[in-house]
Amino acid sequence: MLGTMIQVLPGPSIPVLSDTQNDATIGVAAGQVLEVRLSSRPDSGYAWQAVQGPPAVAVIRQGYGPAPGPYLKTRGGLPGQQVFDVRVPATPGRTVALAFAYKPVGRRLAFARVWRIRLSIRPGAASLSAPRR
């Protein structure tokens, strides 16, 4: 069973999820973009790969970065982060799973770690702020 419930509010900045949210349930707005940053060593032969979620949760961009700056490749085996921008489905009232496995590149079954969350989708910000009649 997944643990903590975290509410992510829509706003001008993109909310960031990391290793510490593993096994959490995240309350998000329909269509919201989230950034997922997971600990990684790009030169180790392992990489995070989405294993559950797509196509419902769309991975729209990915890259590597040393902590904390995204999208820069690390050198010399330094610890870094693999960064994914994902878009939540636009259908409120659903709960969908999103999982990434840290796997050897090019191998299907072997994996070292799994990071997973559940996304509880609520109506988008515009529908929450609309006046009632």
| 98 and 117 Cβ atoms separated by less than 8 Å | yes
pLDDT of amino acid 133 = 36
Q: What are the per-10-residue average pLDDT scores of the chain (133 residues)? A: 67 85 94 92 83 91 72 60 93 93 78 90 58 34
| Contact yes or no for 6/97 (Cβ under 8 A) | no
Alpha-carbon distance of 92 to 124, in angstroms, equals 8
Domain definitions of the chain by residue range: 5-120
The second-level CATH assignment, the architecture, of 5-120 is Sandwich (2.60)
Query: What is the reported pLDDT for 76?
Result: 58
- pLDDT for the residue 10: 65
Q: Rounded CA gap, 10 and 115, in Å?
A: 23
pLDDT at 41: 78
Residue 40 has a pLDDT of 87
Q: Is the pTM of this model over 0.75?
A: yes
